[in-house]
Structure 1
């Protein structure tokens, strides 16, 4: 994982020269060897029964893709605030406050809703995230670097509400039909996948941003389009998730 993450981060930041390419290739080879070892080990870190559980594997895939998308989204929004709108790093951090507030609000609200709504809450969060991303995409496409600071507050708040809804529901729903004996292995797998997704997503979306010609506005619109497309793909995977979250959480 270290080689894979190091290669992706270096490649997105400094270009795909020999060093990041070799690091990424080495990371992929070692990851493949790890997966093979897990299939043959007497006491694997990932229980084989989890890999046969469609609900869990679907949730793992959906969560990985979604976390990759939003990690990249956060990164390019910060880049656009600085490079496109001329804000300082601290100003960009303040500009992301509506998004952070939305995450906190939605995460708290989901605690009482997850037991009743189950995977429908995950779908709702994805659709809200998609709506906020489309809203932001429209603003950037129309106003470009003339976009006002207060104009960005509504779409960022909506994106944050969608992300918080997903964060507050996706984990529990993914664990919806696993056994108590599988819980530790499942939780560790989800945590590792989320960390990897965050690094891969940030590297992938920023690569799109930096390699898109035409200035900050065009780079941002292309990046947002990619994130919106990935989020839409995630919506199609929700039907494969367990219907309800783990009962022990309620």
Structure 2
């Protein structure tokens, strides 16, 4: 294989940029599809490995490992190039996938997923940065839309593919399926991405990286456990949150003094950067509130079976795809984004209002329309946020600002999960106690500790039904009364969630008015970078001459 020439920037030109784009899209497709495929197979995995108590950790370990590494990959890739970290991420992801497929206990699977997550951190940050290496900000809009469309498509295909693989072969193949994709991606990265040599000696902020990871882990654990394993105000939760905040405060102090900080505090003085981060969290909480709990509504209230509910997010993802492509095309043609941001934020609010209108009598057709509207708004605003941040900073900082924004946006989902989960469980429990007929209050003790998600599983329903069948002919009628109370209570709980989601949607819309507009740059984006580098080199040579004289 021919040796790739060494460059001083990550820019990709010529015919290679199209192969690089194909590699990016391939990487995004199989890494994002991995989550939905694994989710579909999890009931079978739990049944095979007998580790229900570690169920959530299969996702938590992956999420934590990927989240804490994203900012580190972004910074290092700006200095040493995307290629080594892209390769490292794909290889780690592939090894983690192989080990996950070989797991013989839930604990082994959790550790393998954490290993896989370390690689996923690079696979989340490098593709978007690589698109920035290929296209100018003005060109980038339509391609960022295509990238978001790939994400949406993978979310649609994932559930069906996961179910088919599990039923046809084995749950282990939901992990093995990643390996051929990983091999193709490795070849693509080797051939198309340039080797980059740092022009000046750079001191890596390893201590800052360690402090950041040490500060983030307890906070992520706190949000993961809050409202489920421990109460929000429990001593353990308070210790995790307070301890994490203290360490992150130390991280900020260290970064202010570091010669080449991992995340420069000065970035947050830029209004575009700080506003986009806030919007990212708000949009993330709006989106994940729907992604996580709409399937529960469809299965528990509308009565679709588990297989059908696996497709429930398809309408929203289709809206997401259309919104991202249309918004990207508009930005590329006009070079502007302010009015588009306002419109996208308004559509998100409308979609959230429509979700709030849903009740126990809502039809599936209405749910589809509501999800499409919400998907259009989120799909158009999310890639826009990424675009404007990249456009606001010099090209040499793109990996850093891109990964920082992506990391903060992912926190929206991390934060949303326990908050929405706590709201659902509390609202469900209170309404269930009110709705359950007085004659059946004696059976309530048997349901203690069951959350709405557990009550909707076929295993739980069969177990409860068998208990009532022991009571004879009247038992079945009592079981129907019980499940009717579950349905009403679940509807009430979901409505409370949608109300909270509407608040975040309105805040997102308001936030778009604080987003400054800077016309998207064309070819001067890369040229100005080269000019800046040349000026710095000339200045460096002049200083050397002065010293020699």
TM-score, scaled to structure 1: 0.88
Deviation at 1:88, TM superposition (A): 4.1
Cα distance change, pair 245–61 in 1 and its aligned pair in 2 (3 A): farther
- Deviation by residue 1:35-94 (Cα, 9 ceiling, x = unmatched): 232222221111233122112111111112221221122212223223333444432221
Q: How many angstroms apart in 1 are the aligned matches of 2:414 and 2:407?
A: 11
2:400 maps to 1:185: yes
Higher RCO (CA 8 Å, separation ≥ 6 residues): 1
Q: How many angstroms apart in 2 are the aligned matches of 1:203 and 1:24?
A: 14
Residue of structure 2 equivalent to 1:74? 291
The RMSD of aligned alpha carbons is: 2.3
Cα distance change, pair 82–15 in 1 and its aligned pair in 2 (3 A): farther
Deviation at 1:179, TM superposition (A): 2.1
Residue of structure 1 equivalent to 2:318? 101
Q: How many angstroms apart in 2 are the aligned matches of 1:148 and 1:168?
A: 31
Report how many aligned residue pairs link the two structures.
246
Deviation at 1:9, TM superposition (A): 1.7
Structure 1 residue runs without a partner (length 5+)? none
| Larger-Rg structure | 2
Deviation at 1:137, TM superposition (A): 1.0
Cα distance change, pair 36–106 in 1 and its aligned pair in 2 (3 A): same
- Picking from 241, 248, 253, the partner of 1:31 is 248
Cα distance change, pair 7–148 in 1 and its aligned pair in 2 (3 A): same
2:509 maps to 1:235: yes
Q: How many angstroms apart in 1 are the aligned matches of 2:299 and 2:253?
A: 44
Q: What SS is found at the alignment partner of 1:95?
A: coil
Task: Compare 10-19 and 95-104 and name the one that shifted more.
Answer: 10-19
- The answer (yes or no) to whether the contact 1:124–1:165 under 8 Å persists in 2 is no
Cα distance change, pair 3–76 in 1 and its aligned pair in 2 (3 A): same
Cα distance change, pair 22–85 in 1 and its aligned pair in 2 (3 A): farther
Deviation at 1:20, TM superposition (A): 4.2
Q: How many angstroms apart in 2 are the aligned matches of 1:93 and 1:231?
A: 25
Q: How many angstroms apart in 2 are the aligned matches of 1:89 and 1:21?
A: 37
2:300 maps to 1:83: yes
Q: How many angstroms apart in 1 are the aligned matches of 2:293 and 2:238?
A: 23
Task: Compare 194-203 and 96-105 and name the one that shifted more.
Answer: 194-203
Structure 2 residue runs without a partner (length 5+)? 1-215, 432-488, 526-549
- Picking from 131, 134, 138, the partner of 2:353 is 134
Residue of structure 1 equivalent to 2:366? 151
- Deviation by residue 1:174-202 (Cα, 9 ceiling, x = unmatched): 33322223322211211111222211122
Q: What SS is found at the alignment partner of 1:94?
A: coil
